[in-house]
């Protein structure tokens, strides 16, 4: 079978490898679609945290069950499935609390272990979900949308609350969509005008701000000085991550979704005065996946517009530099296998 491997930053290879051997309660999946995530782009660039080379990338996946060793809940051989890419132990404290997304020994496909840029992959049966009524492309964007849904579920968001979402890339879009599902009023921030235009035109966000143009003052004006109840960072960049706490009002929450490899600094008296809670959000749970699948089935999410670039698998090796260039306005790239 054909496998694409990131051997080191900036270098892919295409090789033939043996077919996977199935273990107990595992299924052989023919990969159909692989979404390209910021994690993949950062790994290619050499600045992804928790990462070692060589690695087969790809964790936004849809595929077809070719063979099953054991039972799969809700589906069978021949069915198309969403793949949850998070392998958890099931017995650590986090797992026993239902927080499998932050298992103490978590392994993510395409990050800690080899992922889905391969013709076939072996996957534990309990990580396969049926998604009737979804296209293969919609199935492959379930995972990034789950990141946003999980982030919103980390805080007690109420209908009518003001929220700020910093970073309107693929993850930020997922956060905005999830917050809208809860009835929140969204203020979207980015430095790329085409991304602000996307959330305004495709998601109906009325309040969009260029993050270079006094966002603190403008958020204060929009909220009558109260600031937002919850701010989400989806940039992963030091300056906006440190500034985001200033968007939040007293008793509010600041949710860090983006991942930065360095240290962040906040002015503690300001945090203490507002009794502000800083919360991290990592990955998603099976409950998040099921919720996103059900929401996508009503076709209210603009999947066709969200996926801006589509290529066959054999073009992956020469596409990453193009996708990484902001000039090309890539929201979500999708590869077909």
pLDDT reported for residue 51: 82
Same domain? For 199 and 114 the reply is no
Q: Which helix (H) or strand (E) holds 197?
A: helix 193-202
Residue 232, phi then psi, degrees to nearest 5: -120, 135
One domain, residues 106 and 94: yes
150 domain-assigned: no
**Cβ contacts of residue 277 below 8 Å, gap of 6+?**
155, 252, 253, 254
How deeply is 2 buried, as exposed, middle or buried, from its count of CB atoms within 10 A (0-12, 13-18, 19+)?
middle
Predicted local distance difference test score (pLDDT) of residue 186: 98
Residue 2: predicted pLDDT: 96
pLDDT recorded at residue 158: 94
Asked if the structure places residue 204 within a domain, the reply is: yes
Instruction: Look up the domain containing 128 and give its range.
Output: 2-145+284-336
Same domain (yes/no): 88, 9: yes
- Tokens, residue 147: 């990141």
Both 16 and 116 in one domain: the answer is yes
The pLDDT tens digits of the residues spanning 259-296 come to: 998 999 999 999 999 999 999 999 999 999 999 999 99
Residues 78 and 13 in one domain: yes
234, 257, 280 - which closes a domain: 280
The answer to whether residues 310 and 330 touch, using CB atoms and an 8 Å cutoff, is no
Q: What is the dihedral of CA 27, 32, 38, 44, to 10 degrees?
A: 90
pLDDT tens-digit series, residues 129-175: 999 999 999 999 999 999 999 999 999 999 999 999 999 999 999 99
What one-character DSSP code corresponds to residue 22? P
Question: What one-character DSSP code corresponds to residue 105?
Answer: T
Give me the number of domains the chain comprises.
Answer: 2
Position 214 scores a pLDDT of 96
pLDDT at residue 258 in the model:
95
- Verdict on whether the full-model pTM lies above 0.85: yes
Share of the chain above pLDDT 70, in %: 100
- How far apart CA 185 and CA 170 sit, in angstroms, is 19
Backbone angles phi, psi at 5, to 5 degrees: -120, 135
Q: Do 36 and 123 belong together in one domain?
A: yes
How far apart CA 200 and CA 207 sit, in angstroms, is 8
Q: In the chain, which residues have pLDDT < 70?
A: none
CB 86 within 8 A of CB 99: no
Q: Which residues of 66-93 are buried (b: 16+ CB within 10 A; e: fewer)?
A: eebeeebeebeeebbbbbbbbbbeeebe
pLDDT of amino acid 261: 84
């Amino acid at each position: 079978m054909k496998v694409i491997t990131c051997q080191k930053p900036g270098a892919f290879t295409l090789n033939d490898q043996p077919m996977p051997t199935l273990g107990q309660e595992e299924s052989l999946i023919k990969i159909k679609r692989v979404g390209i995530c910021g994690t993949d782009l950062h790994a290619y660039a050499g600045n992804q945290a928790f990462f070692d080379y060589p690695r087969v990338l790809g964790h936004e996946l849809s595929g077809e069950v070719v063979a099953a060793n054991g039972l799969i809940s809700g589906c069978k051989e021949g069915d198309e499935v969403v793949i949850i890419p998070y392998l958890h132990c099931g017995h650590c404290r986090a797992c026993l609390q239902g927080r499998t997304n932050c298992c103490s020994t978590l392994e993510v496909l395409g990050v800690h272990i080899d992922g889905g840029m391969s013709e076939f992959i072996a996957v534990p049966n309990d990580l396969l979900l049926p998604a009737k009524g979804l296209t293969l492309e919609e199935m492959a964007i379930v995972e990034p949308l789950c990141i946003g849904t999980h982030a919103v579920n980390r805080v007690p968001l109420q209908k009518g609350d003001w929220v700020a979402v910093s970073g309107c890339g693929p993850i930020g879009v997922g956060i905005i969509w999830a917050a809208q599902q809860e009835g929140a009023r969204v203020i979207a921030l980015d430095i790329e005008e085409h991304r602000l235009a996307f959330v305004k035109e495709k998601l109906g966000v009325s309040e969009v701000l260029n993050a270079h143009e006094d966002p603190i003052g403008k958020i204060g004006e929009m909220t009558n000085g109260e600031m937002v109840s919850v701010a989400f960072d989806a940039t992963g960049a030091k300056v906006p991550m440190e500034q985001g706490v200033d968007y939040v009002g007293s008793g509010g929450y600041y949710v860090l979704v983006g991942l930065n490899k360095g240290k962040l600094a906040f002015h503690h008296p300001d945090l203490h005065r507002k009794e502000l809670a800083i919360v991290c959000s990592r990955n998603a749970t099976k409950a998040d996946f099921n919720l996103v699948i059900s929401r996508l089935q009503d076709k209210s999410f603009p999947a066709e517009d969200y996926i801006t670039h589509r290529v066959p698998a054999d073009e992956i090796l020469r596409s990453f530099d193009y996708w990484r260039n902001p000039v090309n306005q890539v929201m979500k790239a999708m590869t077909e296998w």
